[in-house]
């Protein structure tokens, strides 16, 4: 049956065009009920004998998605017209409802009513699109009722009064969400409901905040005004970025003025959330605010700086606003433009993790209670929610979604989504860390697991006879990894050649032999992007059998590998290099400690140790050469926990020790990565996945230079070589000084990122930290998806395999690399958050005195870095009440804080003794506190 | 439906037409309907017998395959596909009508709905004066006096020569046609018959059914010719040659065709048009029948092209064929 | 953009392997030797064939075979925005050439020396797949003109969107930027006479997409055969001998 849709459409040029589209109406769309006698039931999704089948209206899907995600709602029919409307209005809700519909555990059925012969309706003259769609929903509901007969009740769930009225008139069962949920007799579900704004009882709000019944925020400008304002240059558009460490300070990167606009305070932020696309109006220049960050805690609420892990790069660190140099002091007014938000172009609301602000149980418990929710991520404001289960939620970590924020309320209102667990519980907090960083820790689906080769897996004769695969089983290959490492993705060999040269090979697990493009396994890995290492657990990118067995290059088993093999002179000059797929049999899987011990033990003369020593001497030469080229030796304050195997509680904590063996392995991995990068870029100049590390700008290095200047150290940062040299010369009186400077330098730099070679020009490919013109990741395909891509590129460049289609689409490759950067960053953030969490758990039982270094001076105290535990936090010299008290004054030039009477002064990088202790200022809110001894 | 503007038909008309056509279908011999093939259809043959593959067939891996849409015909060993709609396929002796497109050295070129223009040599032409003699240079120069471009000429297919298809007009019945209408119909609708020249005395016009699908309806020309008489024509005295000489041009222009005759000419022309539209065979008998039908229905000439008449013709044809069949 | 919903329906309600509705009519141009209208959904094309006839330009005359010419054009009203469609622009020149070559491959030109065959195709409504529709219309018109042919040529397009091979793309799907394979086959001889593709496809996927297009061509061929046979029968019985 054929039907033509015709509609009029306005083109971008403003002309009016009539469009005619075919619309085929079918008779082979089935109702999805397994008990239906007429329809083909092979694709049926509804349960076998439901008492009620729900048909959801668009507004229900759009607003009550959290409710729908609850398992209590089932046997629902989602009409295609509803999906279409939802998709046009809110893509993220659309994706969520799609996920529910495809979940085999849920009985949600998508009925393509728009293509069904009996349920398609034509728009009537004078009928609006909305009315037509509502009618379509009613017609489909009616059809369902008629189709399935009276044995089943078909219930239309709608929150549209008009729609409900009409449905009742037409003899269709229709109810609002609330009445339906109430009929289920599940009070916990009621919390999931989003109340339409007009339903909010104003009196209640009045009761709760009698004094606040006034307009707090200025009104958002209408969209038309914003558009014209943007057009005329009065407003500026950009994404709002809230300072991770100070939620009252936010930035809008604006292309129109080429600078970041600072937004101070909640009222200027005007209800915008982090990540929203906003329109900003610049404030008059005299209102541009002075630096506020000179004191540690600021803002109009009692929130303050926490102790946290020492940042590893500029991206992690609190935003430091480059101060005007001494020349700029004349101008008292800050030249940074400040602004306020006049409108929100696109909301970035999602759900947030956190807990409820402690509050007494109200008298009439069991009723509806308003509570304030505090997000764990401080960038987000508190959220007001209604709940009927306050007593259950008070000591829980919960997830909350935002619904609205109107001008009269200080905080946005939202609704409860789900509970994660008890606050402070390690599992709960780990879960929070994962959720906050958008890490998928769900077990792999059966489709993904179906892609695995049958277990137990061994190298087959086909693999061995495959001409593309070289048999290297007779070569003495070994691996060196951290102790307890199960996902061994790299192994090495080093053989002396008769001509005095060495053949050095780097063998990387051949993951792409098992992960084929386009399979669910590949899609899942691409989505996860990387394995995530938390203190107590690892979230794998690939399923465990691959990660720990099939791909892992364990000792004494034959494994498939992708090898980079060089011939090197004893001076570590590369004579030739080649790449091949191979079969290897590792002779030893050593830990760094073991390898180091072998090398150091001069009595050992076995072949393996000789290989190790040869490699080490080559590595040292390569390293030297790299440093000569200007590679920076950067340092991070990584810490290592010793975890109790039973309780998973941290037993000890200490800095990560780097041995020669580590450096040796690292050196060859770097070399392999560079070789591979050259090879793939040569073959695919436009679609290679590379990794770049941008050269830090002057502004970024400013804090480092200021600190260095204060202690009389001159750093030349003109080139990476100069920087490396001056870092080498920065040797203080104590052994830790140099490392401290390096740590400070490291945190000034931004992180390296993946990119698609077609997106940038070759000079921009540069990797600053490694001083390499091009670089990529090849050596860890088990735990990084980027390496999987690079493996495929390399295989394609060798002509072994054809290039998967994704590489032909530069846009797609860019989105893949963006995802990888995002996942990589999130994985790092999650790792750090996990360490922070465990640090807290560790110190909960062990108040400690230790040595710390001052790294930042503020007007009421300073920040210290604790090298031993890798943490950083504020030390207050004054109590909170006398903020910015007069007793202390700050010497900007010398970076010192002095007591007025001159008796005590603290200068930057000075060593101080501090006391570490976990305090609980509020119940269930433990935090680490540092105080000066 | 091919050729008929269905949209112009009213609903009852449509039903009547369909009924008539259905009747025609049932009347047609069953053998032929099974023998219909389209391009690339294989033709069933008994491979035991030696076969000759004729027109419209090709060999594909030992299979006989049609290269045309049409009817499979078998004549002894010969198997060929008789195409229906296509351009004219000349056969020697065919009487055809053509239009002069070019006058060149000693010859005229005529468009006759064939894949090439046909050639009429000056030497294959009876001179207007009827004298059998050598063609002089003078004659060559005066070729345009005989036929000019765009003249409609009746001739006979002489045969193929290296430079194309040759015609001849060695009889007084051939030659230039005037005072009438030329109609073009698909050639398959005109069957080769004994007689292609007709004089309809009751209406006073001549009808020439060219084998190439060009049909002439024109004023009857009475003329005397005693020089050469075609063997065929001897028994048909009503067919007379056009008597015209170069000197007579002016007089001829003054020649006035009676209005009545002209009306009949138009009626006949429209009859041919209707038949062509319906895809019915075109013969003298049928044309006559249709003229009679139009007269009996008391229709104006222009009404003959209307949809109602079209349906009436279809019905009449069905009736006619039915009665024919019964008679047989 | 989602071109195939998870329920397996395309934007216009078809399933991935389904063609649009096709319709053909023979004899649309009374003055031509052969003519046809061919519709694939909302794409509508008219074709007229003249010939074999005297070669107009003597210098092009060939003594061993017929000259085949083709002219493709789009009616001004064929697309949503009414525009003057210039003749002889690159696109129509290219499509003219494609159609000419495709048809020439199946016409038994050696049977008609010293003559020429003109094929005129005009797009009356464009909704994707005009190339295919033109070829199908031209085949019908040639068969109608009684021009001897080796085989019918039929054409159909197929594409690849949302990781799904799709048969017979309409305009929206065509302009999605995915690969678009236009295939012409000789169904009886089982040979490909035309294969065109926009954009790129991995070879194994191309095979799938091509296979789908072949299925489509065969379906078109069956339909065209039916139409031709019906037409032949009708001509024969109507003529009545």
- C13 inside domain: no
pLDDT tens digits, one per residue of A355-386: 887 777 665 555 677 788 888 777 888 888 87
Closest CA of chain A from C202, distance in Å = 6
**Contact yes or no for C184/C194 (Cβ under 8 A):** yes
- A202 inside domain: no
Long-range contacts formed by B199-204: CB under 8 A, 24+ apart: B199/B238, B199/B239, B200/B264, B200/B268, B200/B284, B200/B288, B201/B238, B203/B261, B203/B264, B203/B267, B203/B268, B203/B291, B204/B258, B204/B260, B204/B261, B204/B264
How far, in Å, CA of A669 to CA of A664, rounded? Answer: 9
What confidence tier does A878 reach under pLDDT thresholds 50, 70, 90?
low
β-strands B205-209, B197-200 pairing: antiparallel
pLDDT at A855: 79
Alpha carbon separation from A743 to A637, A738, A836 (Å, rounded): 7, 9, 18
pLDDT mean over A420-425: 80
User: Is 90 exceeded by the pLDDT of residue C153?
Assistant: yes
pLDDT mean over B5-9: 74
pLDDT at A257: 67
Of A2, A26, A80, the CB nearest to C5: A80
Which domain does A854 fall in, by range? 843-932
pLDDT at A24: 87
How far, in Å, CA of A741 to CA of A710, rounded? Answer: 13
Q: CB burial class (10 A; 0-12, 13-18, 19+) of residue A576?
A: exposed
Count of domains forming chain C: 1
pLDDT mean over A500-527: 88
* Chains contacting chain C through 3 or more C-beta pairs under 8 A: A, B
| Mutation target vs A (from C7, C166, C167, C171; most A CBs, 10 A cutoff) | C7
Q: Are A363 and A303 found together in one domain?
A: no
- C8 inside domain: no
* Chains contacting chain A through 3 or more C-beta pairs under 8 A: C
pLDDT at A10: 54
- Kindly report whether the peptide bond that precedes residue B209 is cis, defined as omega within 30 degrees of 0: no
- Check if B112 contacts C (Cβ < 8 Å): no
Which residues in chain A are closer than 8 Å to C129, comparing Cβ atoms? none
Identify the three-state secondary structure at position A760. Answer: coil
Q: What CATH number corresponds to the domain at position C69? A: 3.30.230.70
Q: What CATH number corresponds to the domain at position A902? A: 2.40.50.140
pLDDT mean over B182-202: 91
What confidence tier does A815 reach under pLDDT thresholds 50, 70, 90?
confident
Nearest alpha carbon to residue A346 among A396, A398, A288, A273: A273
DSSP for residue A697 = P
Q: What CATH number corresponds to the domain at position A329? A: 2.40.50.690
pLDDT tens digits, one per residue of A235-291: 888 888 887 667 777 888 776 666 678 888 878 888 888 888 888 888 877 766 554
User: Is 90 exceeded by the pLDDT of residue C141?
Assistant: yes
Residue ranges covered by each domain of chain B: 6-27+263-327, 35-83, 95-191+218-256
Q: Which of A839-843, B105-109, C200-204 has the highest mean pLDDT?
A: B105-109
Q: Which of A707-711, A775-779, B314-318 has the lowest mean pLDDT?
A: A707-711
pLDDT at A333: 42
Of B2, B85, B191, the CB nearest to C146: B85
Q: Are A328 and A401 found together in one domain?
A: no
pLDDT tens digits, one per residue of A840-852: 888 887 788 888 8
Which residues in chain C are closer than 8 Å to B41, comparing Cβ atoms? 225, 229
Cβ–Cβ of A20/C81 closer than 8 Å?
A: no
Q: Which of A78-82, A735-739, B202-206 has the lowest mean pLDDT?
A: A735-739
Closest CA of chain C from B179, distance in Å = 24
As given in the structure block, the two tokens for residue C30 are 């009374």
DSSP string computed for A218-266: PPPPPHHHHHHHHHHTSEEEEEEEEETTEEEEEEEEETTTTEEEEEEHH
**Residue in C with minimal Cα distance to A30:** C7
Nearest alpha carbon to residue A217 among A384, A407, A406, A411: A407
Of C6, C9, C41, the CB nearest to A102: C6
- Check if B110 contacts C (Cβ < 8 Å): no
- A162 inside domain: yes
DSSP string computed for B163-221: TEEEEEE-STTSEEE-SEEEEE--GGGSPP-S--EEEETTTTEEEEE-TTSEEEEEE--
Angle between helices C90-104 and C130-144 (to 10 degrees): 40
As given in the structure block, the two tokens for residue C105 are 């491959």
Q: Are A364 and A510 found together in one domain?
A: no
Cβ–Cβ of A110/C7 closer than 8 Å?
A: yes
Q: Are A374 and A451 found together in one domain?
A: no
Of C20, C80, C201, the CB nearest to A18: C80
pLDDT tens digits, one per residue of A557-589: 888 999 999 998 888 888 888 899 999 988 888
pLDDT at B167: 94
**Contact yes or no for A751/A315 (Cβ under 8 A):** yes
What confidence tier does A74 reach under pLDDT thresholds 50, 70, 90?
confident
**Contact yes or no for C205/C154 (Cβ under 8 A):** no
Cβ–Cβ of A2/C21 closer than 8 Å?
A: yes
Of C7, C13, C203, the CB nearest to A23: C13
Of C53, C188, C235, the CB nearest to B85: C235
ipTM for the whole complex: 0.91
Q: Are A236 and A252 found together in one domain?
A: yes
pLDDT tens digits, one per residue of A907-927: 777 788 888 888 776 666 677
Angle between helices A720-729 and A736-746 (to 10 degrees): 150
User: Is 80 exceeded by the pLDDT of residue B283?
Assistant: yes
User: Is 90 exceeded by the pLDDT of residue A188?
Assistant: no
Which domain does C137 fall in, by range? 22-239
DSSP string computed for A16-75: EEEEEEEEE-BS------TT-SSS--TT--S-SS-SEEEEE-HHHHHH-HHHHTSTTS-S
**Residue in C with minimal Cα distance to A804:** C202
pLDDT at A203: 40
Which residues in chain B are closer than 8 Å to C238, comparing Cβ atoms? 21, 24, 278-280
- A734 inside domain: no
Angle between helices A660-683 and A607-629 (to 10 degrees): 70
- Check if C198 contacts B (Cβ < 8 Å): no
Which residues in chain A are closer than 8 Å to C12, comparing Cβ atoms? 21-24
pLDDT at C182: 95
What CATH architecture is B35-83?
A: Beta Barrel (2.40)
* Chains contacting chain B through 3 or more C-beta pairs under 8 A: C
What confidence tier does B208 reach under pLDDT thresholds 50, 70, 90?
very high
**Contact yes or no for C9/C98 (Cβ under 8 A):** no
Looking at chain A, the whole-number percentage of residues with pLDDT higher than 70 is 84
The residues, ordered by sequence, that sit 6+ positions from A463 with a Cβ below 8 Å of its Cβ are A469, A560, A583
User: Is 60 exceeded by the pLDDT of residue C38?
Assistant: yes
- Taking every pair of Cα atoms in chain A, the longest distance, rounded to a whole number of angstroms, is 96
User: Is 60 exceeded by the pLDDT of residue A627?
Assistant: yes
**What's the mean pLDDT when you consider all of chain A?**
79
- C16 inside domain: no
**Dihedral sign for Cα atoms in the order A67, A70, A71, A76:** positive
How far, in Å, CA of B211 to CA of A248, rounded? Answer: 99
pLDDT at C144: 94
User: Is 90 exceeded by the pLDDT of residue A611?
Assistant: no
**Contact yes or no for B182/B152 (Cβ under 8 A):** yes
Identify the three-state secondary structure at position A556. Answer: coil
Of A11, A98, A518, the CB nearest to C6: A98
Question: Of A119, A154, A175, which closes a domain?
Answer: A175
What confidence tier does A332 reach under pLDDT thresholds 50, 70, 90?
very low
**Contact yes or no for A61/A68 (Cβ under 8 A):** yes
**Residue in B with minimal Cα distance to C24:** B1
Superfamily for B95-191+218-256? Nucleic acid-binding proteins (2.40.50.140)
DSSP for residue A636 = -
pLDDT at A303: 42
Where are the alpha helices (H) located in A420-485, listed in sequence order?
Answer: 426-436, 446-449, 461-465
| Mutation target vs C (from B40, B89, B314; most C CBs, 10 A cutoff) | B40
Question: Of A322, A346, A370, which closes a domain?
Answer: A346
pLDDT at A313: 58
Q: Could you give the angle at the alpha carbon of A115 between the alpha carbons of A114 and A116, nearest 5°?
A: 100
CB atoms within 10 A of CB A145: 20
pLDDT at A635: 66
User: Is 70 exceeded by the pLDDT of residue A648?
Assistant: no
pLDDT mean over A436-456: 81
pLDDT mean over A143-149: 87
- C111 inside domain: yes
pLDDT tens digits, one per residue of A649-686: 777 776 667 777 888 888 889 899 999 998 888 888 87
Closest CA of chain A from C206, distance in Å = 11
pLDDT at A298: 38
Alpha carbon separation from A626 to A490, A634, A641 (Å, rounded): 21, 13, 31
Question: Of A805, A831, A857, which closes a domain?
Answer: A831
Which strands sit side by side in the sheet containing C22-26, from one edge to the other?
C22-26, C34-40, C43-54, C115-125, C67-74
Q: Are A164 and A247 found together in one domain?
A: no
Of A19, A23, A110, the CB nearest to C80: A19
Q: Which of A522-526, B207-211, C169-173 has the lowest mean pLDDT?
A: A522-526
pLDDT at A419: 83
A and B: touch, per 3+ CB pairs < 8 A? Answer: no
As given in the structure block, the two tokens for residue A218 are 């200025």
**Contact yes or no for A854/A910 (Cβ under 8 A):** yes
Cβ–Cβ of C234/B32 closer than 8 Å?
A: no
**Residue in A with minimal Cα distance to C18:** A24
| Mutation target vs A (from C12, C15, C82; most A CBs, 10 A cutoff) | C12
Closest CA of chain B from C207, distance in Å = 26
Q: Which of A472-481, B44-53, C72-81 has the lowest mean pLDDT?
A: B44-53
Count of domains forming chain A: 5
DSSP for residue C24 = E
| Mutation target vs C (from A1, A8, A22, A31; most C CBs, 10 A cutoff) | A22
Q: Which of B279-293, C81-95, C162-176 has the lowest mean pLDDT?
A: C81-95
pLDDT tens digits, one per residue of A94-129: 888 888 888 888 888 999 888 888 888 888 888 888
What confidence tier does A307 reach under pLDDT thresholds 50, 70, 90?
low
Taking the model in full, what pTM does it have?
Answer: 0.71
Which residues in chain B are closer than 8 Å to C145, comparing Cβ atoms? 85-87
Where are the alpha helices (H) located in A781-869, listed in sequence order?
Answer: 785-797, 810-844
Residue A785 — φ and ψ, nearest 5°?
Answer: -75, -30
Nearest alpha carbon to residue C139 among C33, C53, C38, C19: C38
As given in the structure block, the two tokens for residue B244 are 């015209």
Residue A54 — φ and ψ, nearest 5°?
Answer: -95, 140
Cβ–Cβ of B281/C240 closer than 8 Å?
A: yes
């Amino acid at each position: 049956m054929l039907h033509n849709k015709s509609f009029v459409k306005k083109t971008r040029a403003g002309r009016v065009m009539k469009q005619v589209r075919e619309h085929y109406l079918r008779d082979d769309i089935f109702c999805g009920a397994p008990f239906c006698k007429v329809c083909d039931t092979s694709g049926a999704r509804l349960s076998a004998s439901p008492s009620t089948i729900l048909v959801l209206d668009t507004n229900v899907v759009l607003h009550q998605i959290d409710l729908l995600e609850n398992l209590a709602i089932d046997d629902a029919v989602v009409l295609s017209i509803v999906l279409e409307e939802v998709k046009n209005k809110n893509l993220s809700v659309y994706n969520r409802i799609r996920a529910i519909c495809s979940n085999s555990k849920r009985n949600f059925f998508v009925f393509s009513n728009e293509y069904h012969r009996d349920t398609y309706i034509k728009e009537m003259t004078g009928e609006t699109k909305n009315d037509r769609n509502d009618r379509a929903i009613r017609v489909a509901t009616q059809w369902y009722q008629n189709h399935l007969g009276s044995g089943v009740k078909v219930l239309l769930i709608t929150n549209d009064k008009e729609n409900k009225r009409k449905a009742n008139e037409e003899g269709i069962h229709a109810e609002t969400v609330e009445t339906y949920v109430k009929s289920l007799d599940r009070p916990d579900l009621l919390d999931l409901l989003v109340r339409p704004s007009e339903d909010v009882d104003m009196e209640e709000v009045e009761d709760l905040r009698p004094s606040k019944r006034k307009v707090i925020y200025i009104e958002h400008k209408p969209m038309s005004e914003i558009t014209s304002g943007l057009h005329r240059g009065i407003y500026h558009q950009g994404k709002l970025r809230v300072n991770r460490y100070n939620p009252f300070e936010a930035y809008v990167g604006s292309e129109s003025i080429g600078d970041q606009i600072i937004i101070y305070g909640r009222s200027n932020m005007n209800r915008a959330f982090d990540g929203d696309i906003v329109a900003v109006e610049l404030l008059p220049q005299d209102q541009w605010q002075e630096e506020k960050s000179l004191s540690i805690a600021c803002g109009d609420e009692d929130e303050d700086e926490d102790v946290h892990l020492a940042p590893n790069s500029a991206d992690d660190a609190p935003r430091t606003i480059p101060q005007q140099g001494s020349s700029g002091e004349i101008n008292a007014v800050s030249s940074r433009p400040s602004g306020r938000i006049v409108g929100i172009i696109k909301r970035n609301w999602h759900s947030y993790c956190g807990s409820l602000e402690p509050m007494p149980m109200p008298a009439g418990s069991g009723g509806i209670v308003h509570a304030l929710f505090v997000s764990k991520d401080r960038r987000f404001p508190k959220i007001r929610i209604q709940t009927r289960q306050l007593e259950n939620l008070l000591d829980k970590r919960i997830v909350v979604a935002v619904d609205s924020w109107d001008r009269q309320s200080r905080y946005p209102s939202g609704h409860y989504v789900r509970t994660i667990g008890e606050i402070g519980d390690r599992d709960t907090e780990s879960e929070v860390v994962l959720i906050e960083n958008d890490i998928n820790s769900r077990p792999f689906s059966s489709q993904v697991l179906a892609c695995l080769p049958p277990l137990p897996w061994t190298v087959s004769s086909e693999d061995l006879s495959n001409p593309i695969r070289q048999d290297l089983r007779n070569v003495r290959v070994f691996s060196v990894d951290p102790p307890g490492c199960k996902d061994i993705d790299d192994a090495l060999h080093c053989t002396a050649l008769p001509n005095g040269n060495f053949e050095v090979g780097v063998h990387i697990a051949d993951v792409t032999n098992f992960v084929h493009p386009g399979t669910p396994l590949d899609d899942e890995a691409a989505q996860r992007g990387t394995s995530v290492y938390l203190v107590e657990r690892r979230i794998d990118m690939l399923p465990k059998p691959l990660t720990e067995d099939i791909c892992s290059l364990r000792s004494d088993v034959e494994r498939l590998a992708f090898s980079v093999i060089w011939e090197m002179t004893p001076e570590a000059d590369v004579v030739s290099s080649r790449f091949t797929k191979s079969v290897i049999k590792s002779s030893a899987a050593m830990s760094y400690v073991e390898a180091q011990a072998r090398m150091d033990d001069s009595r050992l003369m076995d072949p393996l140790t000789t290989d190790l020593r040869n490699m080490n001497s080559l590595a040292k030469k390569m390293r030297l050469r790299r440093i000569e080229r200007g590679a920076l030796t950067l340092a991070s304050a990584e810490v290592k926990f010793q975890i109790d195997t039973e309780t998973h509680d941290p037993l000890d904590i200490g800095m990560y020790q780097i041995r020669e063996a580590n450096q040796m392995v690292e050196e060859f991995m770097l070399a392999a990565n560079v070789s591979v990068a050259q090879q793939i870029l040569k073959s695919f100049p436009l679609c290679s996945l590379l990794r770049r590390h941008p050269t830090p700008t002057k502004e970024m290095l400013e804090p480092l230079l200021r600190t260095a200047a204060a202690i009389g150290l001159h750093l030349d940062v003109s080139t990476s070589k100069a920087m490396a040299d001056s870092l080498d010369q920065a040797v203080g009186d104590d052994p830790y000084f140099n490392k401290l400077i390096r740590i400070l330098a490291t945190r000034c730099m931004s992180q390296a990122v993946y990119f698609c070679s077609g997106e940038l020009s070759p000079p921009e490919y540069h990797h600053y930290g490694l001083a390499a013109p091009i670089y990529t990741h090849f050596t860890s395909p088990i735990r990084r998806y980027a390496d999987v891509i690079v493996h495929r590129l390399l295989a394609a460049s060798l002509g072994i395999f054809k290039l998967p289609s994704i590489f032909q689409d530069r846009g797609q490759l860019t989105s893949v690399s963006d995802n990888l950067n995002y996942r990589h960053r999130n994985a790092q953030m999650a790792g750090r958050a996990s360490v922070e969490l465990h640090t807290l758990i560790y110190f909960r039982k062990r108040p400690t005195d230790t040595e710390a270094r001052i790294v930042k001076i503020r007007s009421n105290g300073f920040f210290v870095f604790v090298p031993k535990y890798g943490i950083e936090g504020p030390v207050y010299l004054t109590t909170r009440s006398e903020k910015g008290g007069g007793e202390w004054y700050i010497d900007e030039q010398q970076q010192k804080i002095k007591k007025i009477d001159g008796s005590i002064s603290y200068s930057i990088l000075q060593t101080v003794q501090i006391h570490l202790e976990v305090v609980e200022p509020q119940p269930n809110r433990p935090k680490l506190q540092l105080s000066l001894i | 439906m091919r050729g008929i503007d269905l949209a112009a038909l009213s609903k009852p008309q449509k039903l009547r037409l369909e009924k008539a056509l259905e009747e025609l279908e049932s009347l047609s011999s069953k053998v032929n309907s099974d023998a219909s093939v389209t391009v690339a259809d294989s033709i069933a043959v008994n491979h035991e017998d030696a076969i000759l593959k004729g027109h419209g067939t090709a060999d594909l891996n030992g299979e006989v395959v049609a290269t045309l849409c049409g009817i499979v015909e078998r004549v002894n060993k010969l198997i060929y596909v008789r195409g229906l709609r296509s351009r004219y396929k000349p056969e020697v002796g065919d009487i055809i009508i053509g239009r002069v497109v070019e006058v060149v050295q000693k010859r005229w070129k005529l468009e006759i709905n064939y894949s090439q223009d046909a050639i009429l040599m000056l030497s294959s032409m009876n001179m207007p004066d009827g004298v059998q003699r050598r063609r002089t240079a003078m004659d060559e120069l005066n070729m345009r006096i005989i036929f000019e471009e765009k003249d409609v000429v009746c001739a006979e297919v002489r045969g193929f020569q290296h430079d194309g298809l040759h015609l001849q007009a060695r009889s007084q019945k051939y030659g230039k046609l005037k005072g009438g209408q030329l109609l073009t119909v698909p050639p398959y609708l005109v069957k080769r018959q004994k007689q292609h020249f007709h004089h309809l005395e009751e209406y006073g016009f001549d009808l020439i059914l060219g084998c190439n699908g060009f049909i002439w309806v024109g004023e009857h020309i009475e003329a005397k010719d005693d020089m050469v008489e075609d063997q065929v024509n001897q028994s048909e005295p009503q067919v007379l040659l056009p008597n015209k000489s170069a000197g007579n041009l002016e007089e001829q222009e003054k020649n006035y065709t009676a209005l009545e005759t002209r009306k009949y000419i138009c009626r006949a022309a429209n009859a041919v048009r209707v038949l062509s539209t319906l895809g019915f065979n075109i013969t003298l008998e049928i044309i006559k029948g249709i003229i009679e039908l139009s007269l009996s229905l008391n229709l104006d000439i222009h009404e003959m092209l209307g949809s109602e008449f079209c349906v009436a013709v279809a019905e009449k044809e069905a009736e006619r064929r039915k009665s024919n069949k019964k008679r047989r | 953009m989602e071109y195939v919903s998870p329920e397996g329906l395309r934007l216009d309600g078809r399933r991935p392997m389904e063609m649009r509705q096709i319709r053909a009519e023979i004899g649309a141009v009374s003055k031509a030797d052969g003519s046809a209208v061919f519709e694939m959904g909302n794409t509508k094309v008219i074709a007229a064939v003249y010939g074999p006839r005297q070669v107009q330009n003597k210098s092009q005359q060939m003594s061993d075979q017929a000259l085949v010419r083709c002219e493709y054009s789009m009616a001004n009203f064929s697309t949503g925005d009414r525009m003057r469609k210039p003749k002889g622009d690159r696109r129509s020149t290219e499509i003219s050439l494609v159609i000419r070559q495709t048809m020439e491959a199946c016409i038994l030109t050696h049977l008609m020396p010293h003559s020429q065959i003109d094929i005129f195709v005009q797009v009356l409504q464009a909704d994707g797949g005009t190339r295919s529709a033109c070829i199908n219309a031209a085949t019908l018109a040639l068969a109608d003109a009684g021009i001897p042919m080796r085989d019918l040529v039929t054409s159909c397009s197929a594409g690849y969107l949302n990781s799904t091979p799709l048969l017979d793309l309409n305009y929206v799907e065509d302009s999605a930027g995915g690969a678009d394979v236009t295939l012409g086959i000789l169904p009886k001889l089982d040979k490909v006479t035309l294969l065109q593709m926009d954009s790129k496809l991995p070879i194994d996927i191309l095979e799938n997409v091509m296979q789908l297009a072949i299925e489509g061509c065969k379906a078109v061929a069956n339909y065209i055969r039916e139409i031709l046979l019906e037409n032949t029968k009708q001509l024969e019985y109507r003529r009545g001998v």
